Every structure is written in structure tokens, then in C-alpha cells.
Homo-oligomer: A and B are copies of this chain.
């Protein structure tokens, strides 16, 4: 039944977390396909063989990281989109929301950006599937908007993909920019805002 958490499983989850965190740190300056099993265990301070108690291989660990990273990204997207119709301050708020998320989970964002086209097939597939799910959710959100009247389902999905891709591009730009108060960061924010604005303008005049 596994009803009680137990000291046992608690410890297991703890080292699992440590493995994930260590991997995430190591992945800031390399890609998953070069991440060694021993490298991770060494960083955690645990025997190499302990790794197998949690993951079959580093690719499996990568898939787990995808779930975690996009799980944390998940709530953000809905908010971003439901805010990204036309109003100027709403766009600014959406961009700011992305910036805050990148600040809060930089390693997660970097991991997704890096492994989206990375060298490990299963991880790529996991990311693609999750991003597709996001696009469909965004699509649903857009459909609720009265501005979407007369739009075909296909066109809505195409716009949703545009938004999702744009969000990832923006997040990646924030990642490379120096943190909190910097001119570069403001530049990125303004660029992203204007790009979103242009897309919104295109959306408004789509039916011609």
C-alpha cells in the first residue's frame, strides 16, 4: 500500500533529489550526452553504484529532469498567455513573468533550452511532447478569447506554437543576460515585448 512515507523512502527521495540537483548543476556547462554517471555521484558524495538505485542511466535522469523542469514551467505558460492578448501593460507583465521564472529556475530553463535539440533522443522526445501539450493548452486559452472568433482550430494552434517558441527564445535571452539590474536585461525585455506586440498586431488583423 505504501501508506506511510517512512524514514526509508524519505532518505531515498533525499539522495534522489541530490542526484537531480547535482546533475542540474553539472549540466550548466555541458550537455546531457556527456554527463557521466560517476560524475554525478561524485558531486553528491555517494558511491557510483548507488546511482542505479534511482536511474537506469543518465538518459533516464534526463527524462526525470524534463518532467521537473517543465512542471515548474507549466503554471507560468497559462498565465503568460492569458495575459498576452493586446493590452500594453499585460504584455509587459508577461515578459516580466518570464524574466522572474528564469531568475528563479535558471538551471531548469537552461536544461530545457539545451536539450530540446540535444543529443539524447528520449529526452528530446520528452521535451517535444511536453511543449506540444503546452501549445495545446495555450490554444485552449486563446480559444476562450472573443478576439479568436472566426479562427480555425489549426490557425489557433499555429499561433499557440508561435507563442510557445517565442517564450523559449525570450527565456534563453534572459538566461544569457546578466542578472537583476542591468541594461542588457532591459534591452532583452523591451525586445521581447515588442516582438509579442507585433505578434498581437498580426493576430488582431489576421482575418483580412
Using CB atoms and an 8 Å cutoff, list the residues of chain A in contact with chain B: 27, 29-34, 110, 113-114, 116-119, 121, 128, 154-155, 158-159, 161-162, 165-166, 169, 172, 176, 191, 194-195, 198-206, 208
- Chain B CB count within 10 A is highest, among A117, A158, A176, A201, for A117
Instruction: Using A31-B34, A195-B161, A198-B162 as known contacts, say yes or no to A114 and B118 having CB atoms under 8 A apart.
Output: yes
Q: Is the CB of B29 within 8 A of A31?
A: no
Q: Is the CB of A198 within 8 A of B204?
A: no
> How many copies of this chain?
2
Task: For A192, give the chain B residue with the smallest CB separation.
Answer: B158
- B residues near A29, Cβ cutoff 8 Å: 119, 121
Docked CA distance A121–B30 (Å):
9
Determine the main DSSP class of A at the interface with B. helix
Q: Which 10 A-B pairs have the closest CB atoms?
A: A202-B202, A34-B34, A31-B119, A30-B119, A201-B202, A198-B202, A31-B31, A33-B34, A113-B117, A30-B33
Docked CA distance A113–B113 (Å):
10
